[in-house]
């Protein structure tokens, strides 16, 4: 892992995401090695054009956090990196950022795959409006193939339980739903006691990581590969499959009457006009 310290003019960025006004990414890059990571396109825009995503990490330094309280604005921490990647334990950039937000009037969400967030319960409890979301996609066994360096999903669910017990609002983000592999119903049932809501995002494949995902399925699950690949052969096939899956999820969640859910299918639909 190539770790660099870089000067950042700003730590907070206006976003086109429909459900956020600003994003904060304390790092550039990630350490989890997820084969489906859509953020790999960031490499060519951040001085890492010839480096493979998840082989480098830039630690943002020397920025001035704005005095703006961001009243009623939505801030997402971790849109293109995991703010609790392995090196956060050493550098504590996310922890420092959270201290800057203790007097914020914004609606703040953190998205992570790491139970390291439990370290920061002391500061999280001082932020007026904050939610912590955990990305969950598959079980521990399959995660060793698709998210090889991320903490196991079972540890994330346990972290949800611990945060909930500490009075921190948590949610589950079932993302990405991988066709034929993601048992979203089992995941929902495993988090229903702790989650304030559940979000769902489908597996969008584009750019360089499409080949990476195909290679994993082809190598480890050859009997499923053709059915899996057929979903991504054409735009029509893609939308047909996921529209059906979207209806299935809505129907299932109606049986979980106490648990709200949000759909984040189709990346283009989740952006502001």
pLDDT digits (tens, 9 = 90+) for 182-212: 999 999 999 999 999 999 999 999 777 899 9
Give the β-pairing of 195-202 and 56-61: unpaired
135 vs 109: CA distance, rounded Å = 13
Q: Which tens digits make up the pLDDT trace of 232-250?
A: 999 999 999 999 999 999 9
Q: What is the pTM of this model?
A: 0.94
Q: Which of 200, 198, 171, 42 is nearest to 107 (CA)?
A: 171
| Per-residue model confidence (pLDDT) at position 250 | 97
Domains of the chain: 2-270 (3.80.30.10)
pLDDT at position 179: 98
CA 263, CA 228: separation in Å to the nearest integer? Answer: 22
pLDDT at 266: 83
pLDDT, one tens digit per residue, over 6-55 is 999 889 999 988 889 999 999 999 999 999 998 877 777 788 888 888 88
Residues 184-219 as b or e (16 or more Cβ within 10 Å = b): beebbebbeebbebbbbbbbbbeeebeebbbebbee
Supply angle C-alpha 162, 167, 172, rounded to 5.
60
267 confidence band (pLDDT: 50, 70, 90): low
Task: Determine the average pLDDT of the residues in 58-67.
Answer: 93
Kindly report the average pLDDT of the chain as a whole number.
94
- The per-residue pLDDT for 254 is 96
HSE-up of residue 201 (Cα within 13 Å, Cβ side):
20
CA 78 to chain centre: 7
Q: Identify whether the C-beta of residue 204 lies closer than 8 Å to the C-beta of residue 38.
A: yes
The pLDDT score that the predictor gives to residue 192 is: 97
For the cut 80, the answer to whether the pLDDT of residue 268 exceeds it is no
* pLDDT given for residue 154 in this prediction: 98
């Amino acid at each position: 892992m190539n770790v660099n310290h870089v000067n950042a003019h700003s730590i907070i960025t206006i976003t086109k995401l429909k459900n956020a006004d600003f994003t904060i990414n304390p790092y550039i890059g990630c350490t989890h090695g997820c084969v489906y990571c859509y953020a790999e396109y960031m490499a060519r825009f951040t001085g890492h054009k010839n480096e493979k995503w998840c082989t480098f990490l830039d630690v943002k330094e020397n920025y001035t956090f704005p005095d703006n309280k961001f009243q009623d604005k939505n801030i997402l921490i971790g849109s293109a990196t995991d703010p609790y990647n392995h090196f956060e334990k050493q550098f504590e950039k996310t922890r420092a950022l959270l201290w800057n937000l203790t007097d914020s009037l914004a609606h703040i969400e953190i998205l992570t795959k790491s139970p390291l967030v439990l370290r920061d319960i002391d500061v999280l409890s001082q932020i007026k409006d904050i939610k912590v979301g955990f990305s969950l996609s598959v079980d521990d066994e399959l995660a060793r193939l698709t998210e090889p360096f991320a903490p196991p999903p079972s540890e994330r669910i346990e972290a949800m339980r611990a945060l909930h017990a500490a009075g921190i609002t948590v949610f589950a983000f079932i993302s990405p739903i991988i066709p034929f592999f993601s048992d979203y119903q089992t995941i929902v049932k495993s988090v229903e006691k702790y989650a304030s809501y559940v979000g769902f995002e489908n597996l969008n494949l584009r750019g360089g990581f499409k080949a990476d995902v195909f290679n994993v399925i082809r190598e480890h699950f050859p009997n499923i590969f053709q059915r899996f690949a057929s979903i991504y052969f054409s735009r029509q096939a893609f939308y047909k499959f996921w529209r059906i899956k979207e209806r299935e999820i809505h129907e299932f969640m109606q049986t979980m009457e106490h648990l709200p859910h949000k759909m984040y299918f189709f990346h283009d639909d989740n952006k502001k006009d």
